Amino acid sequence: MTALDTSARTQANHTHDQSGQSARFWESLAGWLMASPAITLLLLFMIVPFIMAFGLAFTNQRLISPNPTEFVGLRNFERLLTVRPLVLQPVVDPATGVAVLDEDGQTTYPAVRTYTRNNPEYPQFDGLQEWTTWSWGDDKLVWLAGDAVFMKSLFNTLFFTVVVVPLQGSLGLLLALIINQRTAGVNIFRTIYFMPVVVSMVVVSILWRFIYDGQNGLLNNILGAVTLGNFQPVDWLGNPSTAMWAVIGMSIWQAVGFHMVIWLAGLQTIPGVLYEAAAVEGAGAWDQFVHVTWPGLRNTAVFILVTITMAAFGLFTQINVMTRGGPLDSTTTLVFQAVQKGFEKQDIAYGSAISVVFFALVLVVALIQRFVTREQGE
């Protein structure tokens, strides 16, 4: 449709307005001029750094250093992406052939460091780090990685995204449905739900660190009061099994208001007559939602899916303020690692390599989403 419109207008210009060519030139020049501040800034602060990061990832550039920059090929990426399995068999007493047990009666395994450190028989494992270990019958399958923390960051980031996107999207829709009413006082609720969005993430993170405090945090106190003291305080951010969930919880709390508003805007574009018609046809609330509301929200849903996904991949501030990636790397993320390596440890080349991998990941996910949510017949 749009294409047709434009070409029609162009023709009209040619036939009716002889000076159209020059007017359009001035018009487009004005357009470029007006866009130029934004384009310059984008070039300077987005495109150029991006290209630089791509180049730096193949060097040993340091943030500050008197040493010259050297091209190192794929070394940074090799370290980032190397993953090798190592099967460990139980230690067996060579004389008896019986497995050696430790004090607790558990099977013992040779230490991983005997393979990865100064062992010329296993050059392929040299310098690798233990990432994760699976049991494989009596054997242990150890996954070694060139950079175990990066691998953990990668999986934490994916996990966070996979949990947050559906949860935050649906919670936002639920809130939007609740407040999409013309009753008295609804604006108060809209304001309350939206409030966390306008508070800085740093401030929110600090507040939630208090809330999650292991001894006398608000959350533990509330749970204790509700259960009449039966609840054992949990060190939410200090426990590897709860830390990521704690970050997920507060992240959703902070951001859900924004998506609620987007959903709300989507809801209000659906003409009321459709609901009236559906009601006349005898559709109940659920049927109205499935057949009127949801199809009407299609574009909104795509927008929300994409924005939450992007935001979730970029998880950084909460981590930086609340957990610094700990405990035991349970909350470290790709962006956090890129900043850690690139700035705090001043290895800008390695940080750039992480960014490039991050970019590739986001790009792939975005393309998949684009494909899945494409318009019919496109």
Partner 1 sequence: MTPKPFVRMWSWLGAVSLIAAACAPAATPAPTSAPAATDAPAASEATAPTAAPASTEATTADATVLTMWYHGAGNDVERTILTQIIDDFNASQTQWRVERQDFPQESYNESVVAGALAGNLPDIIDVDGPIMPNWAWSGYMAPLQLKEGTLDNFLPGTIGTWDGQVYSVGLWDAAVAVFARKSVLEANGIRIPTIEEPWTFEEFDAALVTLQGTGEFEYALDLGTAWTGEWYPYAFSPLMQSFGGDIVDRSTYLTAEGKLNGPEAIAFGEWWQSLFERGLAPGTSQDGADREAGFIDGRYALQWNGNWAALAAIEKYGDDLVFLPAPDFGAGSTIGAASWQFGISAKSQNQEGANAFIQFALQDKYLAAFSDGIGLIPATASAAALTKNYAPGGPMEVFFQLSQAQALIRPPTPAYLSAALVFEKALADIANGADVTTTLDAATDEINADIESNNGYGFK
- Calculate the alpha carbon distances from 256 to 39, 158, 252, 373, 375 in Å: 31, 19, 5, 22, 26
Binding residues for partner 1 restricted to 252-311, rule: CB under 8 A: none
From the CB of 340, what's the least distance to partner 1, in Å? 7
Output phi, psi for 66, to 5 deg: -80, -10
Residue from the set 34, 44, 202, 285 that interacts with partner 1 by CB under 8 A: 202
Stretch that binds partner 1, among 16-24, 42-50, 108-116, 256-264 (CB under 8 A): 108-116
CB of 315 to partner 1, least distance (A): 16
Site string for partner 1, 112-151 (x = CB under 8 A): xx--xx---------x-xx-----------------x---
Task: Identify which range of 33-41, 251-259, 290-298, 345-353 contacts partner 1 by CB under 8 A.
Answer: 345-353
Residue of the chain from 57, 237, 278, 335 that contacts partner 1 (CB under 8 A)? 237
**# binding residues, partner 1 (CB under 8 A):** 46
63 lies in the binding site for partner 1 (CB under 8 A): yes
Q: Could you say which of 173, 336, 347, 354 contacts partner 1 (CB under 8 A)?
A: 347
CB of 68 to partner 1, least distance (A): 10
| HEC per residue, the chain | CHHHHHHHHHHHHHHHCCCHHHHHHHHHHHHHHHHHHHHHHHHHHHHHHHHHHHHHCCECCCCCCCCCCCECCCHHHHHHHCEEEEEECCCECCCCCCECECCCCCECCCCCHHHHCCCCCCHHHCCCEEEEEEEECCEEEEEEECCHHHHHHHHHHHHHHHHHHHHHHHHHHHHHHHHCCCCCCHHHHHHHHHHHHHCCHHHHHHHHHHHCCCCCCHHHHHHHHHCCCCCCCCCCCCCHHHHHHHHHHHHHHHHHHHHHHHHHHHHHCCCHHHHHHHHHCCCCHHHHHHHHHHHHCHHHHHHHHHHHHHHHHCCCHHHHHHHCCCCCCCCCCHHHHHHHHHHHCCCHHHHHHHHHHHHHHHHHHHHHHHHHCCCCCC
Nearer to partner 1, 314 or 327 (CB): 327
Nearer to partner 1, 309 or 318 (CB): 318
Exactly one of 154, 211, 292, 301 binds partner 1 (CB under 8 A); that residue is 211
Among positions 24, 298, 345, 374, the unique one binding partner 1 when judged by CB under 8 A = 345
Q: Rounded to the nearest whole angstrom, what is the least distance from the CB of residue 326 to partner 1 in the complex?
A: 6
Which of 9, 324, 370, 374: binder of partner 1 (CB under 8 A)? 324
**Which one, 308 or 322, has the nearer CB to partner 1?**
322
Which residue, 92 or 202, is less far from partner 1 as judged by CB?
202
| Bridge partners for 254 per DSSP | none
Torsion of CA 328, 323, 158, 174, to 10 degrees: 140
Q: Which stretch binds partner 1 (CB under 8 A): 39-47, 100-108, 210-218, 356-364?
A: 210-218
- Residues 149 to 188 in contact with partner 1, rule: CB under 8 A: none
In the complex, the residues that contact partner 1 under the rule CB under 8 A are: 60, 62-67, 111-113, 116-117, 127, 129-130, 148, 202-203, 206-207, 209-211, 213-216, 218, 235, 237-238, 240, 320-321, 324-329, 340, 343-347
